[in-house]
Amino acid sequence: MAASSVVCRLRYRGLRGLGRFWFGLEPQTQGRFTSTASAQKENTTAKAAKESKTFQAIQEERREQAERSVLISCPSKINEKKFLDYLSKHGTINKHFFYNSYGAYAVVEFSSRESIASLKESINIPAVEHEAAVPFKSRLLSFKWPGSQSSSHPMPKFKVQSPPSINEINQLLSEKDSIDEQLQCLTEALELTEENVSLRFLVCSLLRDITGAYFPECIIRPFGSTVNSFGKLGCDVDMILDLEGIYATSQKKGSGLSLEYQVKRGASERAVTQSILSVIGKCVDQFGPGCVGVQNILQARCPLVRFSHQPSGFQCDLTANNRVAMKSSELLFLYGQLDPRVRHLVFGVRCWARVHSITSSIPGAWITNFSLTVMVVFFLQQRNPPILPTLDRLKELAGPSDKCVIEGNDCTIVSDLSKITLQQNTDTLEKLLQEFFEFYGNFPFNKASINIRKGKEQTKPETTALYIQNPFETTLNISKNVNATQLERFVALCRESAWLLQQKEILNRSSDSPWGFAALLLPSVTSGAGVKSRRKRKLEPASSRIKNLLDSLKIKGGETVAKKGSANSSS
């Protein structure tokens, strides 16, 4: 029951830092969670989710808040009170926060949209010397403060928008008492904050002000790790230009008479998407305040416009006509909500993979975060009893309003989480982490594919190194890009980490050397040997190299981690 009420309250917070909230729980509730790694009671979710908001409802709420918000560049020694008093002349301010990103900024959310209109009426286009201004009235503003400011007033608190460095993470992990606590702490340290999610939605909303000039009914929706509950501070903002509202038919049947818009036609849907994105890319480049480094990547499988939004520091990828990806985000969000262990394990595995360069921010033959998350889901479906239901089960539980077919693909999943009954599984995070590594250290990648729809291995339909069936476009492989070398590195690292977790020395809490999960972030000794270990499918006995690692770990402690950290501190 305790777990049930916790899950319920977590869900009420929607997308915002779930783990962060969880760490703020009253001690007795928190204790229960940590001691059994958030063991799920039967029907936990059913009860908890009754009053929860659906994924769509959370997105809509965030989007609406963003439309009532402005982003303001301001002096770093700003007098917060005077600033708020000045803005309050235009209406009640619901929320605001400050952050730093090459200068100080404030996000201010008014309680009504009229305030934005009123504010805009009072703002001038700046007179620029020796140059000319594009007269585009956006909601990205500059706060001008005449004369020098006194610094006698209290400074506002600036909210952090970037992830902690690996050294800071190691420090945090060293203070915990178990691997379970370490993974929970890691999630809390890395996950998107409430403010960061608000800023992401605001950037989408600012972009929509540009695209809305062409397509007034369009919506820019964030997807991917911004909304799937697995986002880490510093991750990119994936966006969809959603034009569905334009296609929605408003004709009433009956009279037989009708009118149609005359439209330009393209050779294919892809060609139309490319043409729309190319115009928008140009517009963002030339008119979008704060948008720099715009690249039109229109020949990609999924055409996109990539740019940096300087005031927020976000790298943005704008796609169009990409509803399946949004559905994938909803699916991952749903899995992340069902059991707190899902997010903790995903954050742990993603962090481990990034530190060891299994994943990369540069596209290539690497395993992606999306694939890794699906691999964790698949592993949790294999537990006995399973921690997560199959995608087919989520489809069976769907109601009539959940029906969703996109480009011929049945993307139906239940939206009401209270319909999902979970089985009791009390595995600790430590056990799950250990067995995740053993599972993938021994997985028959040469012949089997990963399939979360069935929750079972399937025969691989093609010879690519790694085959993970796309959850909704079931003829596609989401890890087609991964080559044999990268897969071998992953397998070798899984084996090494599984082996390390079996060693008592690693599990002994120590104040002067990395232990538990932190020890898995130390430089690997076997990942370079992936090719060699290719044919050995069973866990090998401890190699002398790993023993040496353990020894050096005991001797050098944090020094080794610090060196590693400096090379891998960015996301």
The site for ligand GTP (CB under 6 A) is made up of: 223-225, 228, 231, 235-236, 238, 325, 328-329, 368-370, 470, 473, 478
In the list Mg ion, ligand GTP, none, the entry touching 496 (Cβ below 5 to 8 angstroms by class) is: none
Smallest gap from Cβ 473 to Mg ion, in A, equals 18
User: HSE-up of 88 (CA within 13 Å, CB side)?
Assistant: 11
Q: Which is nearer to ligand GTP, 163 or 516 (CB)?
A: 163
Question: Given the complex with Mg ion, which of 95 and 306 has the nearer CB atom?
Answer: 306
280 CB-side CA count, 13 A: 30
Q: With respect to ligand GTP, which residue has the nearer C-beta, 369 or 497?
A: 369
- Closer to ligand GTP by CB, 235 or 432: give it: 235
Give the one entry of Mg ion, ligand GTP, none that residue 441 binds, where binding means its C-beta sits below a cut-off of 5 to 8 angstroms depending on kind: none
Sequence length of the chain is 571
Nearer to ligand GTP, 179 or 351 (CB): 351
Picked from ligand GTP, Mg ion, none, the partner binding residue 45 (CB below 5 to 8 A depending on kind) is none
Question: Which residue's CB is nearer to ligand GTP, number 243 or number 332?
Answer: 332
Among Mg ion, ligand GTP, none, what binds residue 18 when CB lies within 5 to 8 Å by partner kind?
A: none
Across 180-332, the runs of DSSP E, i.e. the strands, are 219-223, 237-242, 291-297, 304-309, 314-320
User: For 46-92, where are the E strands, in sequence order?
Assistant: 69-74
- By a kind-dependent CB cut-off of 5 to 8 A, residue 316 interacts, out of ligand GTP, Mg ion, none, with none
**462 with 474: CB under 8 angstroms?**
no
User: CB 26 → Mg ion: shortest distance, Å?
Assistant: 34
CA 166 to CA 518: how far, in whole Å? Answer: 10
Number of residues binding to Mg ion, judged by CB under 5 A = 4
Shortest CA distance to 329 belongs to which of 258, 260, 242, 256?
Answer: 242
Query: Comparing C-alpha atoms, which of 546, 535, 532 is closest to residue 501?
Result: 546
Q: Residue 542, Cα to own-chain centre: how many angstroms?
A: 36
Integer Cα distance of 451 and 468 in angstroms? 6
Site for Mg ion contains 316 (CB under 5 A):
no
Partner whose footprint covers residue 187, from ligand GTP, Mg ion, none (CB < 5 to 8 Å by kind): none
Least distance to ligand GTP from the beta carbon of 488, Å?
A: 20
Considering the complex, state which of residue 236 and residue 427 has its C-beta at the smaller distance from Mg ion. 236
Is 329 or 415 the residue whose CB approaches ligand GTP more closely?
A: 329
Q: Note whether 225 binds Mg ion by CB under 5 A.
A: yes
Supply the minimum distance, in Å, between the C-beta of residue 473 and ligand GTP: 6
Name the binder of 449 from Mg ion, ligand GTP, none, CB < 5-8 A by kind: none
HSE-up (13 A, CA, CB side) for residue 281: 22
What minimum distance in Å lies between the beta carbon of 182 and ligand GTP?
21
Between the two ends of the chain, the Cα-to-Cα distance in Å is 38
Strand partners, 316: 237, 307
The nearest distance, CB 22 to Mg ion, in angstroms, is 23
Which residue's CB is nearer to ligand GTP, number 319 or number 428? 319
CB nearer to ligand GTP: give 242 or 438.
242
**How is 484-523 classified by DSSP, letter by letter?**
HHHHHHHHHHHHHHHHHHH-HHHHS--SSS--GGGGGGSP
H or E element that contains 35: helix 27-35
Q: Which does 329 bind (CB under 5 to 8 A by kind): Mg ion, ligand GTP, none?
A: ligand GTP
Q: Which is nearer to Mg ion, 53 or 350 (CB)?
A: 350
**C-beta of residue 285 within 8 angstroms of C-beta of residue 318:** no
Q: How far apart are CA 442 and CA 444, in angstroms?
A: 6
Report what 478 binds from ligand GTP, Mg ion, none; CB cut-off 5-8 Å by kind.
ligand GTP
* 328: partner contacted, choices ligand GTP, Mg ion, none (Cβ within 5-8 A by kind): ligand GTP
Nearest approach, Cβ of 321 to Mg ion (angstroms)?
18
Which of Mg ion, ligand GTP, none is residue 312 near (CB under 5 to 8 Å by kind)? none
Of 228-257, binders to Mg ion (CB under 5 A) are 236, 238
Question: Are 413 and 398 in contact, with CB atoms under 8 Å apart?
Answer: yes
Note every long-range contact of 434-438, with CB atoms under 8 Å and residues 24 or more positions apart, other chains counting. 434/498, 434/501, 434/502, 435/379, 436/345, 436/349, 436/376, 436/379, 436/494, 437/494, 437/495, 437/497, 437/498, 437/501, 438/494, 438/498, 438/539
Out of 19, 91, 156, 224, the residue judged to bind Mg ion by CB under 5 A = 224
Least distance CB 148 / ligand GTP (angstroms): 42
Q: Would you state the structure tokens that stand for residue 138, as one six-digit string?
A: 């956006």
- How far apart are CB 238 and ligand GTP at their closest, in Å? 4
* Residue 359 within binding range of Mg ion, rule CB under 5 A: no
Q: Which of residues 181 and 236 has its CB atom nearest to Mg ion in the complex?
A: 236
CA–CA distance, 51 with 397 (Å, rounded to integer):
17
Q: Exposed (0-12), middle (13-18) or buried (19+): which is 341, by Cβ within 10 Å? A: buried
**Among all residues, whose Cβ is closest to ligand GTP?**
224
369 touches, from Mg ion, ligand GTP, none (C-beta below 5 to 8 Å by class):
ligand GTP
Reading the block at residue 93, the tokens are 């301010």
In the complex, the residues that contact Mg ion under the rule CB under 5 A are 224-225, 236, 238
